Amino acid sequence: WRERLAGAPVLDLRPTVTEGAGAPGGAFHTRRIAGAGAAVDALARQKRCTPFMVLLASYQVLLHRWTRQDDFCVGVPAAGRNEPELEELIGYFSTTLVLRAELSGSPSFGELLRRVRRSALAGFAHDRVPFERLIDELGIERRLGVSPLFQTLLTVHTQDGQPSAERDFAGLRCEDADGGHAAGKFEVMLDLRREGDDLIAVFGYRTDLYDDAWVTRFARHFETLLRGALAAPDTPVSELPLLARSEVDELLALGTGAEVPAADTEALPAVLGRAAETYGDRTA
């Protein structure tokens, strides 16, 4: 397990410019993906894997397409209740697994599922190793502001979600708590749960690194990519759709608008020259 995780690179997801990002903290963006839950189940049965593996592979592809990295890690919570006697005990048994992505060679989504299946089974076989112990064994130096081993956390709930009103017990009322603090623990978190045939995707993010516009676009791309993978799993991951139809139309419309008067434009060389004078020490 040390050999498997040694030398894992940092996921470089942060935007170059974080204008609009606020003070340190966490926030959420929620997206309902209609009908995706049933489609995920169907593809999982077809490819002899679990819905969790389909969703993990989809999230890995999204991260790969946004960063162009084919090697990175994703954190995954594990229940930690390996013995039948522990299933009904009240208490916190959860631990965090680190699953390393393998996207080299632009595999098809179906081939990636086979890689994810291998990786996930190996990961859960090591779920008794405490995360803190793993950090020590790998000799990773802790740094402020950077989570060790992984920068994004994926949580997949295996049961249908229920509104808080349906989780009431005699003499005890349960309500969803504000998870803003939890959202700020990692750079980006994705929490997935089922509601009937729909999939509810909750994206948590650090407000000092990302703003709502960034996360909204990130969430929209996840839905587009997931639907494309479910519809055509033999497609290479580099060719899966990423832009929504509205984004494609917006880009195509850029070349069809009225011509801007020459007096209101500035030649590109002048713009580049000014940028070079201002940021001469940066890579162009």
Rounded mean pLDDT of the chain? Answer: 85
What angle in degrees, to the nearest 10, is found between the helix axes of 212-231 and 51-67?
120
Question: Would 171 be classed as within a structural domain?
Answer: no
Burial of residue 272 (number of CB atoms within 10 Å: 0-12, 13-18, 19+): exposed
d(CA 165, CA 176): 10
Q: Do residues 113 and 57 touch, judged by C-beta distance below 8 A? A: yes
pTM summary value: 0.80
Examine residue 283 and state whether it is found in any structural domain, yes or no: no
- Give 184's pLDDT tier (boundaries 50, 70, 90): low
Task: Look at residue 168 in the predicted model and tell me its pLDDT.
Answer: 64
On whether residue 284 sits in a domain, the answer given is no
- Tokens (6 digits) for 25: 């903290």
Q: Is residue 215 pLDDT above 70, yes or no?
A: yes
20 vs 209: CA distance, rounded Å: 9
Confirm whether 62 is domain-assigned. Answer: yes
Q: Which domain holds residue 101?
A: 2-164+177-278
Whether the pLDDT of residue 228 is over 70: the answer is yes
Q: Return the CATH number at 218.
A: 3.30.559.30
Residue 104 lies in a domain: yes
DSSP 164: G
The whole-angstrom separation of Cα 238 and Cα 246 is: 21
pLDDT digits (tens, 9 = 90+) for 194-207: 999 999 999 999 98
Residue 169 lies in a domain: no
How many domains is the chain partitioned into structurally? 1
Asked if the structure places residue 185 within a domain, the reply is yes
**Of 216, 87, 226, 59, nearest in space to 153 by CA:** 59
* 8, part of any domain: yes
